[in-house]
């Protein structure tokens, strides 16, 4: 048996070293939490020639608030466990809720936001949340830095706008007054890949609602017609809440139907398309009820 | 930049039996790096650089406590602490773990002595086939370090990444609650003494 297995492993200490190394070796695999790449290596599905670990690049870690714009800047190496810490979870509750449904404590300690984006699985749990939050991905390379809206960053199932020598530097989340929720359906409560998910953000600054769906299409999908309906139904003068009138239940039903109609699910080993289409509507309706009740 | 250096004369102390791994005899990427495991430094030479920490612990360092079941982070039986963080060692690339402090189940007790968590597991019957046990022991130590007073739901969430197919978890929960209660009782017995000592210091 022959193997093509020569592999060099590098652990750069800074962002500059990382992007310089990537420019010189654009075929290099980036290793963050290892929850995807190491599985491929362990099972012999991938034999990268070179690997660079992000574990010591401090510029990618943690999160901060941009003093100039007030935006939240989430590092590419931010872990799911860090998303769950009260400081950040209080600011981005939907992201924390999504992080809490990822894997197990072990996986949440290792897996990162940048990894979720770069892997771009249709079932990536943070992706619909980032879309609903209107977030922007900051991509770094030896050429410089550029910003890509999350919706444009994920271009297909496991496909992204990243070039071979790019790395996800951070994610910028605009600071607005919002109420937000994320719901996910799976076969159990832990260690489960989403059958479908929905993120709902009620934006009190723009008097609008954003709804993004996960695992019901190759990329996270916005449900624009459902958003418009929700925007009309909510009483913005009363703080973006659902009016408790006789039309409420009918409006929520129509909202769920429009969400289902916006989904583009497939049958696979995890679920049928028909169930996904139904369940994603239920998730979004419940999420809206929770944040606008 | 830390680059795991290439050994001049890579020695081949053993040829571990892992069919999934490439044949290591004639490959050019045999390098050396150092791992700190349970407070001891280990020089790894002649290792294939794509090896997981789990593989290195078990097959190169002779530490079989972390168990190999799924190799994809699903079962938790390979759980270890890396710089104090609970992780699946199958998902850590060993060659990137130089300079980090690794603790396995073998490093939790004092020598051959069982920890309170291990004693509680054996006494409550939380160990059946035993395969998941080392991973659970590491996880429960981590939980009680971070949260000395976990509720039953918090315990369930904390051990949700450790699959047990024998016990149904009832006795595992009982074991964790036993240790939690014993530690809290010991702490409350110790507290008045400590408070008294502080007062004495103040008076002095």
Q: Which residues contact B198 (CB under 8 A, 6 or more apart)?
A: none
Q: Which residue of A lies nearest to B85 if distances are taken between CA atoms?
A: A109
Whether residues B98 and A9 touch (CB distance < 8 A) is answered with no
Which residue in the set B23, B27, B90 is minimally distant from A38, CB to CB? B90
How do A8-11 and B2-3 pair as beta strands? antiparallel
Whether residues B27 and A3 touch (CB distance < 8 A) is answered with yes
Give the pLDDT score at B177.
98
Whether residues B28 and A6 touch (CB distance < 8 A) is answered with yes
Burial of B72 (0-12, 13-18, 19+ CB in 10 A): middle
Give the pLDDT score at B191.
80
Which residue in the set A48, A109, A190 is minimally distant from B87, CB to CB? A109
Whether residues B1 and A17 touch (CB distance < 8 A) is answered with yes
Give the pLDDT score at A245.
77
Quote the tokens at residue B2.
């830390």
Q: Which residue of B lies nearest to A192 if distances are taken between CA atoms?
A: B74
pLDDT < 50: residue spans in chain A: 1-4
Give the pLDDT score at B110.
76
Residues of B with CB under 8 A from a CB of A: 1-4, 20, 22-23, 27-29, 31, 48-50, 52, 71-74, 76, 79, 85-88, 90-93, 95-96, 98, 139, 142, 157-158, 160-163
Give the pLDDT score at A244.
78
| pLDDT tens digits for range A161-201 | 999 999 999 999 998 999 999 999 999 888 899 999 999 99
- Inter-residue contact B136 to B172 (CB < 8 Å): yes
Which residue in the set A7, A10, A17 is minimally distant from B29, CB to CB? A7
Give the pLDDT score at B2.
52
Question: CB-based contact (8 Å) between A11 and chain B?
Answer: yes
Q: Which residues contact A156 (CB under 8 A, 6 or more apart)?
A: A120, A218, A219
Q: Which residues of A touch B85 (CB under 8 A)?
A: 109-110
Q: Which residues of B touch A48 (CB under 8 A)?
A: 50
For residue B18, what is the DSSP state?
-
Quote the tokens at residue A148.
């890509």
Structural domains in chain B, sorted by start:
32-107 (3.10.20.30), 116-190 (1.10.150.120)
Distances, alpha carbon B94 to alpha carbons B6, B50, B89, B115, B135, in Å = 15, 8, 9, 27, 18
d(CA A172, CA A108): 21
Alpha-carbon torsion, ordered B22, B26, B28, B30, to 10 deg: 70
Residue that has been written with the tokens 């969430």 in this structure: B157
Which residue in the set A7, A31, A35 is minimally distant from B73, CB to CB? A35
Please provide the distance, in angstroms rounded to a whole number, between the alpha carbons at the two ends of chain A.
Answer: 63
Quote the tokens at residue A55.
């574990």
CA A109 to chain CA centroid, Å, is 17
d(CA A245, CA A243): 5
pLDDT < 70: residue spans in chain B: 1-30, 193-204
A32: closest CA among A11, A53, A18, A6?
Answer: A53
- Inter-residue contact B72 to A111 (CB < 8 Å): no
Where along chain A do its domains lie? 8-53, 60-173, 178-292
| pLDDT tens digits for range B160-173 | 999 999 999 999 99
Q: Which residues of A touch B161 (CB under 8 A)?
A: 103-107, 190-191
Whether residues B31 and A47 touch (CB distance < 8 A) is answered with no
DSSP assignment of B61-94 equals: S----S--S-SSSSS-TTEEEETTEEEEGGGSBG
A76: closest CA among A49, A54, A46?
Answer: A54
Distances, alpha carbon B126 to alpha carbons B11, B113, B142, in Å = 42, 18, 18
Q: Three-state SS across B142-190?
A: HHHHHCCCCCHHHHHHHCCCCCCCCCCCHHHHHHHHHHHHHHHHHHHHH
Q: Which residues of B touch A115 (CB under 8 A)?
A: none
- Domain at A178-292: CATH architecture: 2-Layer Sandwich (3.30)
Report ipTM for this prediction: 0.93
- Inter-residue contact A201 to A182 (CB < 8 Å): no
- Domain at A60-173: CATH architecture: 2-Layer Sandwich (3.30)
Whether residues B93 and A41 touch (CB distance < 8 A) is answered with yes
Whether residues B73 and A10 touch (CB distance < 8 A) is answered with no
Main-chain dihedrals φ then ψ at residue A51, nearest 5 degrees:
-130, 135
Give the pLDDT score at B31.
72
Question: CB-based contact (8 Å) between A266 and chain B?
Answer: no
Look over chain B and give the mean of its residue pLDDT values, rounded to a whole number. 85
- Inter-residue contact A99 to A125 (CB < 8 Å): yes
- Inter-residue contact A148 to A137 (CB < 8 Å): yes
d(CA A134, CA A152): 11
d(CA B80, CA A293): 44
Give the pLDDT score at B17.
45
Which residue in the set A11, A38, A106 is minimally distant from B52, CB to CB? A38
Quote the tokens at residue A216.
């019901």
- Inter-residue contact A197 to A98 (CB < 8 Å): yes
Which residue in the set A9, A31, A39 is minimally distant from B4, CB to CB? A9
Give the pLDDT score at B4.
53
A63: closest CA among A95, A35, A31, A34?
Answer: A95
B148: closest CA among B195, B124, B191, B182?
Answer: B182
For A43, other C-beta atoms within 10 Å of its C-beta total 11
DSSP assignment of A164-221 equals: TT-EEEEEEE----EEEEEEEE-SSSSS---SEEEEEEEETTTTEEEEEEESSSSS-E
- Residues A183, A185, A191: CA angle, nearest 5 degrees: 105
Q: Which residues of B touch A9 (CB under 8 A)?
A: 3-4, 31, 49, 93, 95-96
**How is domain A8-53 classified at the CATH fold level?**
3.30.43
Question: CB-based contact (8 Å) between A34 and chain B?
Answer: yes
Burial of A15 (0-12, 13-18, 19+ CB in 10 A): middle
């Amino acid at each position: 048996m022959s193997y093509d297995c020569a592999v060099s492993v590098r652990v750069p200490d800074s962002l500059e070293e990382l992007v310089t190394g990537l420019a010189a070796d654009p075929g290099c695999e980036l290793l963050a939490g290892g929850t995807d790449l190491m599985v491929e290596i362990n099972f012999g599905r991938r034999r990268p020639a070179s690997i660079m670990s992000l574990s010591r690049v401090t510029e990618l870690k943690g999160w901060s608030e941009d003093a100039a714009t007030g935006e939240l800047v989430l590092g590419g190496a931010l872990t799911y466990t860090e998303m769950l810490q009260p400081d950040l979870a209080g600011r981005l509750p939907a992201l924390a809720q999504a992080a809490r449904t990822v894997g197990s404590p072990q996986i949440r300690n290792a897996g990162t936001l940048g990894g979720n984006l770069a892997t771009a699985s249709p079932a990536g749990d943070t992706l619909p949340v980032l879309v609903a939050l209107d977030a922007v991905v900051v991509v770094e390379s030896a050429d410089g830095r550029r910003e890509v809206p999350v919706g444009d960053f994920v271009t297909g199932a496991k496909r992204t706008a990243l070039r071979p020598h790019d790395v996800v530097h951070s994610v910028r989340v605009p600071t607005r007054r919002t109420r937000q929720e994320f719901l996910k359906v799976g076969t159990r409560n832990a260690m489960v890949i989403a059958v479908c998910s929905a993120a709902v953000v009620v934006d009190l600054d723009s008097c609008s609602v954003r709804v993004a769906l996960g695992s019901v299409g190759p990329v996270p999908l916005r449900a624009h017609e459902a958003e418009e309906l929700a925007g009309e139904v909510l009483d913005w003068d009363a703080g973006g809440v659902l009016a408790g009138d006789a039309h409420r239940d009918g409006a929520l039903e129509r909202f769920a139907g429009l969400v289902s109609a916006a989904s583009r699910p497939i049958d696979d080993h995890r679920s049928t398309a028909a169930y996904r289409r139904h369940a994603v509507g239920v998730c979004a309706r419940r999420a809206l009820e929770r944040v606008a009740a | 930049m830390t680059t795991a250096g290439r050994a001049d004369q890579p020695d081949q102390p053993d040829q571990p039996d892992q069919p999934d791994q490439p044949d290591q005899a004639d490959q050019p990427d045999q390098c050396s790096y150092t791992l700190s495991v349970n407070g001891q430094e280990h020089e790894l030479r002649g290792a294939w650089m794509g090896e997981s920490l789990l593989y290195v612990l078990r097959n190169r360092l002779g530490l079989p406590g972390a168990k190999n079941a799924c190799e994809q982070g699903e079962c938790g039986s390979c759980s270890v602490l890396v710089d104090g963080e609970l992780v699946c060692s199958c998902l850590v690339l060993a060659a990137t773990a130089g300079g980090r402090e690794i603790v396995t189940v073998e490093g939790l007790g004092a020598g051959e002595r069982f920890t309170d968590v291990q004693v509680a597991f054996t006494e409550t019957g939380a160990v059946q086939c035993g395969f998941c046990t080392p991973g659970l022991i590491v996880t429960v130590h981590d939980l009680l370090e971070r949260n000395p007073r976990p509720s039953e739901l918090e315990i369930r969430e904390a051990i949700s990444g450790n699959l047990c197919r024998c016990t149904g978890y009832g006795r595992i929960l009982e074991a964790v609650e036993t240790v939690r209660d014993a530690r809290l009782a010991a702490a409350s017995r110790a507290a008045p003494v400590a408070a008294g000592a502080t007062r004495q210091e103040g008076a002095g």
